């Protein structure tokens, strides 16, 4: 058994106990604090489940986009930031970079706030979420 899987399972059990047994006994600020702790635990669980694959996918996408197959993820992130700041990414690649950034943001949101991704996007509102 993977220790990471056991860690995720342990966090899930602890989060369930927090939400089901402890939160109902709290009021006001304590309930808010407990909800924040529960949300943080959920993010950690998703990070354990999805994080490694998300980072590998991000590295592949950035390496292909930047044509840097040997670079590490931190190097690729820094390179993309430099190119965006300097304007080195050509205008004709703007739709490609927008699609890349959208995909990277969605992968991060799948870990940090999947409920946001589940919201409907309204074309009538210029693509804003409802």
Mean pLDDT computed over 92-120: 91
* Residues with Cβ within 8 Å of residue 112, at least 6 apart in sequence: 43, 46
Please identify which residue in the block is written with the tokens 């993309």. Answer: 80
DSSP state of 89: S
Supply the pTM of this predicted model.
Answer: 0.76
With a cut of 70, say whether residue 125 has pLDDT above it: no
Whether residue 57 is predicted with pLDDT greater than 90 in this model: the reply is yes
Contact between 69 and 59 (Cβ < 8 Å): no
What value does the mean pLDDT of the chain take? Answer: 89
- Read off the DSSP letter of residue 120: P
pLDDT surpasses 80 at 129: no
**Is the C-alpha dihedral spanning 72, 104, 3, 10 positive or negative?**
positive
pLDDT band at 79 (very low <50, low <70, confident <90, very high): very high
């Amino acid at each position: 058994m993977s220790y990471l899987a056991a860690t995720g399972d342990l966090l899930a059990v602890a989060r369930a106990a927090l939400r089901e047994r402890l939160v109902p006994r709290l009021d006001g600020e304590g309930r808010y604090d407990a909800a924040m702790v529960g949300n943080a635990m959920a993010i950690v669980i998703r990070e354990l489940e999805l994080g490694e694959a998300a980072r590998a996918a991000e590295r592949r996408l950035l390496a292909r986009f930047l044509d840097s197959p040997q670079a590490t993820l931190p190097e690729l992130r820094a390179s993309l930031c430099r190119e965006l700041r300097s304007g080195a990414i050509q205008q004709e690649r703007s739709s490609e970079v927008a699609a890349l950034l959208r995909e990277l943001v969605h992968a991060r949101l799948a870990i940090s706030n999947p409920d946001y991704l589940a919201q409907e996007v309204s074309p009538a509102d210029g693509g804003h979420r409802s």
